[in-house]
Structures are given as C-alpha cells and as structure tokens.
Amino acid sequence: EDQVTQSPEALRLQEGESSSLNCSYTVSGLRGLFWYRQDPGKGPEFLFTLYSAGEEKEKERLKATLTKKESFLHITAPKPEDSATYLCAVRKNYGGSQGNLIFGKGTKLSVKP
Amino acid sequence: DSGVTQTPKHLITATGQRVTLRCSPRSGDLSVYWYQQSLDQGLQFLIQYYNGEERAKGNILERFSAQQFPDLHSELNLSSLELGDSALYFCASSLQGQETQYFGPGTRLLVL
C-alpha cells in the first residue's frame, strides 16, 4: 500500500537550534516528492519538488534532500516565523495527466524566541 | 498568493443539506484537484479534473460530486451532509498533471 509517514509529529525548537524533519515513503514508481508549508487555517504553500535520489534543493533556511526511501527537510538556525506544519507528499508515476498527491500527516514545528 | 481562489471561505450548514464549493485555478492551469483535510485524516485526495474531464478519483463519497466548466473553474458539490463532513476543503491546480500543484486558501465547512 502506498504510504507517506512523517516524523516527528511535533517538534519544538529554540530560535537558532537547527534540526531535521523526516518523510519516509513506500510508493511504487515515484514521480516526485513535494514539501509544503501550512499555516493554521491556510492552504499549503509550495516549498520544494525533488525527483531523484541525491537531489537537494535550498531556500533560505530550508534544505530538502531525497534518498530512495526518504526525504529530509533540514532547518538551519530557525526563526519564530518558521513555525508551521510542514507537509510531505508524493506523486506516483501514473502516466498521462493524472497527478494526485499522497500526503503525510505533517510535522508541526514550533520555534520559540 | 498562489493564484488559486476559492469561495466561500467559511460555510456553516445543517445535516442533510447540500452545498457547493467553487474554485478558480491559476491562469493557464488545466488541472484542478480537490482535497479534504480533517484533523485526524490529514489531506486526502478527492478528485481531479483535467480540461473539463474527470481524470482521477480518490476517496470521494458518492454523496460528493464535482465538475470543471469550459472556463476551467471547478465546483465541488456535497449533498446529504453529515457531521463528519466538517473539514477544510482545498482546491489545487497545475498546468497539466505532472507539475507542482498550487493550493487555494480553502473553504472551511462546518456541519451542525
């Protein structure tokens, strides 16, 4: 069964304390892994897309990496404004124009000043 | 701002009623996706339309239906509402089917 598991469920950090969020997946035929950020009551905001093992992408204090079984979202020297729920999602190689995502349940990050 | 718009923002209704949620995709995007987010289930895929045609179905109940119109906006119809249908409903769009999906701000549905 296709599955996306994120850990930890919740993470509390002090401002400046770097850490990593994990997303492990079991999907036949991966056609992209996506990271989104979601603030309470808002829609998910796109962060990164990763397509192949070994790929890395960076944006400000965030860096996403991908292996054959999991992805990590590294947060370097986080600030309180980085507090949000981070969602991981995968898309299978459906072929054609089918493109629905399978989401994990997210990691809720809190960064205290 | 993702460029995807959804109306209404909030909807409060009673059990047994029917509601319609509306989504306008980003300019140029042909695919529209509907997702449901509840506290215990996370984001669940409901249905995808591509250029007016249904392309994929997920865990969508028979009481729910959707369509995409010639101007590419989409509507999600929820009928015979139950308490358990209370959730956030998100629409997302992408150029075709293989690209990044951009999400709208969502519609919060409360069924009393």
- For residue B99, what pLDDT band results from cuts at 50, 70 and 90? confident
For A72-89, what is each residue's pLDDT tens digit? 999 999 999 999 999 999
State the average pLDDT for chain A. Answer: 95
CA distance A58 to chain B (A): 17
What pLDDT, on the 0 to 100 scale, is given for residue B106?
98
Look at residue B86 and tell me whether its pLDDT is greater than 80. Answer: yes
Q: Which of A41, A91, A97 is the closest to B55 by Cβ?
A: A97
Query: Confidence class of residue B96 from pLDDT cuts 50, 70 and 90?
Result: confident
Give CA–CA dist B75/B68, Å, rounded.
7
The span from the CA of A77 to the CA of A67, in Å, is 24
**Cis ω before B8 (30° cut-off from 0):** yes
B101 contacts in A (CB within 8 Å)? 34, 46, 99, 101
Nearest CA in chain B to A47: B100
Q: What's the confidence (pLDDT) of residue B40?
A: 77
Inform me whether the C-beta atom of residue A43 falls under 8 Å from chain B C-beta atoms: yes
Q: How confident is the model at residue B88 (pLDDT cuts 50, 70, 90)?
A: very high
**Of B28, B109, B25, B36, which Cα lies nearest the Cα of B74?**
B25
Q: Report the b/e string of A65-89 with b at 16+ CB within 10 A.
A: bbeeebbbbebeebeeebbbbbbbb
* pLDDT at residue B97, as a whole number: 74
Give the other-Cβ count within 10 Å of A59's Cβ: 10
B45 C-beta neighbours (distance < 10 Å), count? 21
Q: Residue B98: which pLDDT band, with cuts at 50, 70 and 90?
A: confident
What residue in A sits closest to B33 (Cα-Cα)? A100
- Helix (H) or strand (E) holding B11, with range, is strand B10-13
A99 and B56: CB-CB below 8 Å?
yes
Nearest CA in chain A to B104: A43
Of A41, A99, A106, the CB nearest to B42: A106
Hey, are the CB atoms on A97 and B104 less than 8 Å from each other? no
Which residue has better confidence, A61 or A95? A61
B99 vs B51, higher pLDDT: B51
Q: What is the mean pLDDT of residues B78-95?
A: 97
